[in-house]
Amino acid sequence: MIIIPAIDLYQKKVVRLTKGNKSDCKVYGRDPVSFAKKWQQKGAGWIHLVDLSAAFSEGDNKDIIANIISELSIPVEVGGGIRSLDRVRELLAIGVERLIIGTKAVDPGFLKKALKIGGSKIAVAVDESEGRLAIKGWQKNTDLPIMQYLKYLKDQGVSWVIYTDISRDGTLEGFNLSRIKELSEASQFNLIFSGGVSSLEDIKKLKKIAPQAAGVIVGKALYEQNFSLEQAIACQ
């Protein structure tokens, strides 16, 4: 299980939202490239980028993403607002190593074409709100149960899933461990978990309850200095 620091990009700034709400947005810096370089220097093996501007259909941060990739020697995964095949090709062309598709993954035609283009570099965001799938930048809840959605993704040939409990994202409340245990035991994916990490103890509990997890994304807890990236990596 690897620790993956998150950089959320909105209006060219590094921010964190609480439960995906734009109205609860905290700015941590105006130089995303420096944050990415800092995480690499502190030992990160991957960087998780979220283009919130694209997710909210308010432009994008493609140039910043390209700059970050050009400055790093470690791989980068990117999610947020990937709703066209042209966007898939565009991001892969600038060197994105893992592309995280959210809303459009519910369209089997789109997902199949994206997988044909990107293969194992394609991951799907599974964003849960009250047991159901949330889409469109977490602004819309569907009636689709998460376990049913996971079965659909497996049938489509998806191998990587980024799971987020929206109710805990940015809250520093810790994981819903019973839900994570259920997902990890039932799933045949490479699973990366996100949403709610507040302490090193959360990471240790996740590793114990879901030893097969591929990774955990850490955001606000790092920015609020609840612990250092070096300390988190020592737990992986």
Catalytic residues: 8, 127
Neighbours of 156 (CB within 10 A): 14
Q: Residue 137, by phi and psi: left (phi above 0), alpha (psi -120 to 50) or beta? A: left
Q: Name the 3-class secondary structure at 181.
A: helix
Neighbours of 186 (CB within 10 A): 11
List all residues 6 or more positions away from 25 whose beta carbon is below 8 Å from its beta carbon. 10, 15, 16, 17
List all residues 6 or more positions away from 219 whose beta carbon is below 8 Å from its beta carbon. 5, 6, 8, 16, 170, 194, 197
Cα 109 to Cα 171: distance, rounded to the nearest angstrom: 35
Q: Name the 3-class secondary structure at 67.
A: helix
Work out the end-to-end distance of the chain between its first and last CA atoms, rounded to an integer number of angstroms.
6
- Residues 156 and 111: beta-carbon distance below 8 Å: yes
In this structure, what token pair is assigned to residue 15?
Answer: 């921010």
